[in-house]
Structure 1
Amino acid sequence: MTHPASCDLTLAIDVGTGSARAALVDAAGRIVSIAGREYEQIVPRFGWSQQRPADWWDGVAGAIREVLDGNPGARERIAAICACGQMHGTVLIDDAGNLTRETVPLWNDKRTVDLVAAFEAANAPDSYLTESGNPPTPAWAAFKLQWIRDTEPEAFARSATVLAPKDYINFRLTGEIATDVTEASCNFLMNPATRDWSAAMIARLGLDARMMPPIRQPEAILGGITEAAARATGLAAGTPVLVGGADYPMALLGSGVCRPGLASEVLGTSCIITLITGEAVLDPEISNVATMEGNWGPFMLLESGGDAMRWARRALHDGEAGYGEIVEKAAQAPAGSAGLIFLPYLTGERFGAHRNARAQFFGLGASHGLAHLDRAVMEGVALGVARHIRVLEENSGLKVSRVIASGGGARTPLWLKIKASAYGIPVVVPQEPECGVIGCAALAATATGRFSRVEDAADAFVRFADEIAPDPRWSDIYAATQPVFDRLYRHSQALYDDLDQLASRTAAIDARFGEDAATPMG
């Protein structure tokens, strides 16, 4: 598909967890205008998290109208529209396209934990990894569908199709139904070898294959803007809309992580480390997402990434110090924190047999002060991610050549230097933090014929700030620390169940003696 030179803009849409955003991107890959509309996460009970697809649509339509109103004439200059969105949502619609449930469980919803535990108890990893490409977790859409089937059978029976969040927005824009390979690869129902729905997994989980939408390539044209969508958004009817992709793989593309050997680290509340490979890496400790350019992104998660710093601010500084002050304090301690090691598993782990993992300081002595604790927290996150990098390298047979960092942690120079030194690998940061938007623009530029491959579009659109090289002295210290960290990680696993039992016994004792027993004396 080609367009006249006057069509020099892309409209990127990001259906996020906190807001829906729309952005106009020019032919050089630079953001011209961006607007957003916030919406709420609904938490009806502990562990649940859901949103209304109607709120996503209202947010998307409002954001599009804002960027068009602020840029007269832009509507006629849009060559294509590309959306990305939060992953693992399960939007259910009937044959007429109407929602069968008002709300959708989100990626961070934990209501399926018992279903996941039952699956793990009944199925060995080697019996499903080749069909699912992933270990089980409450995030995956497959288990959310099981929960809806079991708890809301009427809504499930009325549902004709299940869509991811961005697929629902695409449906509202075009009237067409499809998902893409990046979304499908992370719902526990796609065979990684065929890149199609796994009949074996659908049957094993007791789901309905007829509800699965067609899987298409992200750069394919899904359809054109309908008259109804044009009235709601201000877009020109007929403007082509791509199939698009999930937000994380779209951000990989938009940060330049699109060739084997390149790695991405996204440090927000959690930390996701992803290595680009030619094939999925099937291991119970590793998840896999299909990428925009046709590769795979085996990834691992550290649940407490940036959240470790939030914990330090609250627990070590009573919430009174700013993050900049904490980093300045940490900089006063030497590399290695004088032998103090922090295991950053404050909220356990998302995958594997030790989801009940705990955090700890190890090696604490009388000579250690607050600066050592602050630095140890930052170093502990880096050492945890370094362990993941080694696991990914060993299982894929590839060596990481470069780590491209994004998210809040990529704005802290000391942390970047600690990480580069702990990894022994250069770390670079994209100049444009809106990586998902840039990924959408690169995909659209390829779909409209400006580039023959999405990798070429990413090369043209992604620009980097300075490269952070490992500090040789720090690297030697962290290389000596890493084996101790790894042994501590392994040996502590034997105690996690004991800690759970201790917590249960303590709660029972408190209940027996009444609330006063649990109230500190003052």
Structure 2
Amino acid sequence: MPGGGQEPGSYYVGVDVGTGSVRAALVDQRGVLLAFADQPINQWEPQFNHHEQSSEDIWAACGVVTKKVVQGIDVNRIRGLGFDATCSLVVLDKQFRPLPVNHEGDSHRNIIMWLDHRAVSQVHRINETKHGVLQCVGGVMSVEMQAPKLLWLKENLRETCWDKAGHFFDLPDFLSWKATGVTARSLCSLVCKWTYSAEKGWDDSFWKLIGLEDFVADNYSKIGNQVLPPGASLGNGLTPEAARDLGLPAGIAVAASLIDAHAGGLGVIGADVRGHGLACEGQPVTSRLAVICGTSSCHMGISKDPIFVPGVWGPYFSAMVPGFWLNEGGQSVTGKLIDHVVQGHAAFPELQAKATARCQSVYAYLNSHLDLIKKARPVGFLTVDLHVWPDFHGNRSPLADLTLKGMVTGLKLSQDLDDLAILYLATVQAIAFGTRLIIEALEAAGHSLSTLFLCGGLSKNPLFVQMHADITGKSEEEQRRSLWAWQQICPAKNRTGLEIAGYK
């Protein structure tokens, strides 16, 4: 992150906008976490597969968390601010006011979220063109990327949104603009979600071919014609107005942003593991796979040369680690799927009551309940007759088929707490098998991977970590050693990830 001097007492603020909440962290120049805060954000689902948020609501939540983390410190020692966020689409008019992305005309809801699947017919038509830019998204564009969403807006909300629009931002770039007044976009977001090339720039022929020639005509001013590498300093830093909103000093450096998964990937794929006895010590950084697991999961691998992997996004040059090519696999819902399965079960009220009585989360309770019913066998064998196909929201990688649906086989008539615990386990296992399938696709194309690095909310769940270790081929004993070692690197106060050393 850009900033001033490195004298003792310098602070930096990072803001992470996830699907369901905004988080802020205060760190010192060594990266030690000093304070943390989070704040929930609103979501709307006006109809099935339409998911919307509000840029005003998200910016207000950013102010809540930044003000909390700087309480009690000398804010004049803050040297820099950085944002990351989900790759959702923010729509503003020519005066930077919110525009509606819905048929109801509610301009407060001006964000089409990353997981929104309204643009199915648009993405099918884009993929039928077989344009060359599709080679850098695994051969098939995802409905979760920005081009199909933009085309949907043009075809469905012409008068209320499209004709009035002045600016289309990826959410990370909206936040950096809001902080600085600079409309420059981050290379990370444009390369990964908008078909921009770090080497060639925009491809006019693609936008004309899919019916969005509007962008070509105005020299891409609405979607970004100034592009900066992640971490580059933006303009004159934090504006006085944004400083008041965030409770931070005006003029501090603000960095060009990152997509949230890519910020996590950058953080863990470059982790210093020297002196901890891990199998990955001394191996090249290209042997690591970062798995960022929260509402969805992203699998980030880097290489010195471009590797084209069918069904896996990329290769993207310098989109995450400068000078390296990035491949990004993913599962469209993971944490959200686990919540869906558990909360929809008939025994969920009983689970809630028992977990509350023990002052535990429902997942901590389920993990302990599985230990009670596993008997002499390893816990993974409880699902020998129960299987889950996890693509409830389509498959992002490597099948790249948004039409796929989920499936459960092996259900019984009973619906007690044991059944819920085993269904939860089967869902976690299914997600881990999805990770294994992505790893196999990456390796078949030329990646050489030996280490998984996990971060994100699901990495705090020991069962989720254990199943990924088991299903990708790691023994329980070795996994426990890796978990212990990672906890020494990232103590409980600063627990940002878990490592599974050497999945082979």
Range into which the TM-score falls when normalised by the shorter chain = 0.7 to 0.9
User: Counterpart in 2 of 1:349?
Assistant: 394
User: Counterpart in 1 of 2:407?
Assistant: 359
Check whether the contact 1:308–1:344 (CA below 8 A) recurs between aligned residues: no
- The alignment status of 1:285 with 2:335, answered yes or no, reads no
Q: TM-score, normalised by structure 1?
A: 0.73
Amino acid of the structure 2 residue aligned with 1:255: V
User: Counterpart in 2 of 1:491?
Assistant: none
1:36-75 paired onto structure 2 within 5 Å:
36-68=38-70, 70-73=71-74, 75=75
State how far apart, in whole Å, the 1-side matches of 2:111 and 2:464 are: 36
1:41-120 paired onto structure 2 within 5 Å:
41-68=43-70, 70-73=71-74, 75-94=75-94, 96-101=95-100, 102=107, 103-120=110-127
Alignment CA distance shift 1:127-1:432 (3 Å): farther
Deviation at 1:220, TM superposition (A): 0.9
Check whether the contact 2:13–2:26 (CA below 8 A) recurs between aligned residues: yes
User: Counterpart in 2 of 1:385?
Assistant: 435
1:424-435 paired onto structure 2 within 5 Å:
424=473, 431=487
- The alignment status of 1:150 with 2:199, answered yes or no, reads no
Q: TM-score, normalised by structure 2?
A: 0.75
Amino acid of the structure 2 residue aligned with 1:277: S
Deviation at 1:308, TM superposition (A): 5.6
- The alignment status of 1:164 with 2:170, answered yes or no, reads yes
Check whether the contact 2:391–2:404 (CA below 8 A) recurs between aligned residues: no
Deviation at 1:433, TM superposition (A): 12
Structure with bigger RCO (C-alpha 8 Å, 6+ apart): 1
What runs of 5+ residues in structure 1 fail to find an aligned partner?
439-460, 476-522
User: Counterpart in 2 of 1:447?
Assistant: none
After TM superposition, the structure 1 stretch with the greater mean CA deviation from structure 2, 323-332 or 22-31, is: 323-332
What runs of 5+ residues in structure 2 fail to find an aligned partner?
101-106, 272-284, 352-364, 413-417
Check whether the contact 1:274–1:298 (CA below 8 A) recurs between aligned residues: yes
Alignment CA distance shift 1:298-1:433 (3 Å): farther
Check whether the contact 2:452–2:499 (CA below 8 A) recurs between aligned residues: no
Check whether the contact 1:417–1:469 (CA below 8 A) recurs between aligned residues: no
Deviation at 1:40, TM superposition (A): 0.8
User: Counterpart in 2 of 1:18?
Assistant: 20
State how far apart, in whole Å, the 1-side matches of 2:309 and 2:428 are: 28
**Partner deviation per Cα, 1:322-366 (whole Å, 9 max, x = no partner):** 4224432574444555854624325053343463244243799xx
User: Counterpart in 2 of 1:318?
Assistant: 347
Check whether the contact 2:395–2:401 (CA below 8 A) recurs between aligned residues: no
Deviation at 1:263, TM superposition (A): 0.6
Deviation at 1:253, TM superposition (A): 1.5
RMSD, aligned CA? 3.5
- The alignment status of 1:272 with 2:301, answered yes or no, reads no
**Partner deviation per Cα, 1:57-90 (whole Å, 9 max, x = no partner):** 222223323333x1231x2111111111111323
Check whether the contact 1:92–1:161 (CA below 8 A) recurs between aligned residues: yes
State how far apart, in whole Å, the 2-side matches of 1:4 and 1:275 are: 31
Alignment CA distance shift 1:432-1:148 (3 Å): farther
- Select which of 179, 191, 194 maps to 1:173: 179
State how far apart, in whole Å, the 2-side matches of 1:35 and 1:354 are: 35
**Partner deviation per Cα, 1:423-454 (whole Å, 9 max, x = no partner):** 135765665999xxx9xxxxxxxxxxxxxxxx
Check whether the contact 2:89–2:113 (CA below 8 A) recurs between aligned residues: yes
State how far apart, in whole Å, the 1-side matches of 2:488 and 2:328 are: 23
Amino acid of the structure 1 residue aligned with 2:7: A
User: Counterpart in 2 of 1:183?
Assistant: 189
After TM superposition, the structure 1 stretch with the greater mean CA deviation from structure 2, 10-19 or 176-185, is: 10-19
1:178-257 paired onto structure 2 within 5 Å:
178-191=184-197, 194=199, 196-207=201-212, 208-209=215-216, 210=220, 211-213=222-224, 214-223=226-235, 224-257=237-270
**Partner deviation per Cα, 1:436-478 (whole Å, 9 max, x = no partner):** xx9xxxxxxxxxxxxxxxxxxxxxx9987675676xxxx8xxx
Deviation at 1:280, TM superposition (A): 4.8
State how far apart, in whole Å, the 2-side matches of 1:19 and 1:83 are: 14
State how far apart, in whole Å, the 1-side matches of 2:253 and 2:145 are: 30
Check whether the contact 1:131–1:198 (CA below 8 A) recurs between aligned residues: no
- The alignment status of 1:305 with 2:354, answered yes or no, reads no
Alignment CA distance shift 1:123-1:416 (3 Å): same
- Select which of 376, 401, 412 maps to 2:450: 401
Check whether the contact 2:454–2:498 (CA below 8 A) recurs between aligned residues: no
**Partner deviation per Cα, 1:6-50 (whole Å, 9 max, x = no partner):** 561111122333233332111221221223333211222222111
State how far apart, in whole Å, the 2-side matches of 1:312 and 1:163 are: 33
